[in-house]
C-alpha cells in the first residue's frame, strides 16, 4: 500500500544520491593512471545516462497511467479531470497483421519498462516516433525533458 507519506519518504531517500558524487570523486582521485582515470570518467558519464534513462522511463510511465500513485495526491476534482484525459498508455495502438489492437496500459510491466527506456533514449536524441504525448501535461513534460537532454548533451560534450 502506497501512501503520500511513504511516497514523500522515498523521495527524500533520493537526496542521498548527491553523496554518490562525492564518493565517485574520491575514487577518481585514487586512480594513478591517466588511462584508468579516463575509463572512470567514461563510466561516470554512462552511469549518469543510464540513471537519467531509468528515472525518466519511470516518470513517463507514471504520467501515462491515469491511476498512478501521484494521482492520489490530487484533489477529487483534479483527480477526475486527470483520469478523464487521454493518456499515451490508454490510446489504442494499431494491430499487427493478424492481431488485435492493443494499449500500453494492458502490457506487462517488463515490456512497458523496456519500451519507456527505449522511448526515453529516443527523446534524448530528439526522435521519439512510436508514442506521442496525448495531452497537454504530457507534452509539457516531454518539452522539459528534451530541454534537459539538450543541456546534458552540451555539458557532456564540454567535458570531453
Total domains in the chain come to 1
Residue 119: HSE in the Cβ half-sphere, 13 Å Cα cutoff? 24
Q: Is the pTM of this model over 0.85?
A: no
Question: Would you say residue 108 lies in a domain?
Answer: yes
**In whole angstroms, what is the distance from residue 27 CA to residue 43 CA?**
12
Q: Mean pLDDT over residues 126-148, rounded?
A: 85
Query: What are the backbone dihedrals phi and psi of residue 31, each rounded to the nearest 5 degrees, phi first?
Result: -80, 120
Classify residue 9: in a domain, yes or no: no
pLDDT of residue 113: 94
Select the more confidently predicted residue: 2 or 145.
Answer: 145
In a domain, 60, yes or no: yes
Which of the given ranges, 17-31, 80-94, 121-135, has the highest pLDDT on average?
80-94
- From CA 28, how far away is CA 39, in angstroms rounded? 10
Count of beta carbons in the 10 Å neighbourhood of residue 88: 22
- Find the angle CA(125)-CA(93)-CA(49) to the nearest 5 degrees: 25
For residue 116, give its domain range.
50-159
pLDDT tens by residue, 44-83: 888 888 989 999 999 999 999 998 888 888 889 999 999 9
**Residue 102: phi, psi to the nearest 5?**
-145, 170
Task: With respect to residue 127, please indicate whether it lies within any of the assigned structural domains.
Answer: yes
Amino acid at each position: 500500500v502506497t501512501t503520500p507519506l511513504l511516497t514523500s519518504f522515498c523521495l527524500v531517500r533520493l537526496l542521498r544520491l548527491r553523496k554518490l558524487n562525492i564518493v565517485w570523486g574520491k575514487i577518481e582521485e585514487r586512480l594513478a593512471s591517466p588511462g584508468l582515470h579516463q575509463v572512470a570518467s567514461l563510466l561516470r558519464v554512462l552511469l549518469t545516462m543510464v540513471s537519467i534513462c531509468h528515472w525518466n522511463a519511470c516518470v513517463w510511465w507514471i504520467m501515462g497511467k491515469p491511476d498512478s500513485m501521484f494521482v492520489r495526491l490530487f484533489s477529487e476534482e483534479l483527480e477526475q479531470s486527470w483520469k478523464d484525459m487521454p493518456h499515451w498508455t490508454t490510446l489504442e495502438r494499431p494491430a499487427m497483421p493478424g492481431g488485435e489492437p492493443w494499449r500500453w496500459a494492458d502490457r506487462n510491466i517488463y515490456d512497458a519498462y523496456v519500451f519507456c527506456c527505449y522511448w526515453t533514449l529516443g527523446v534524448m536524441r530528439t526522435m521519439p516516433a512510436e508514442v506521442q504525448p496525448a495531452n497537454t501535461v504530457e507534452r509539457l513534460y516531454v518539452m522539459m525533458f528534451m530541454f534537459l537532454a539538450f543541456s546534458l548533451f552540451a555539458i557532456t560534450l564540454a567535458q570531453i
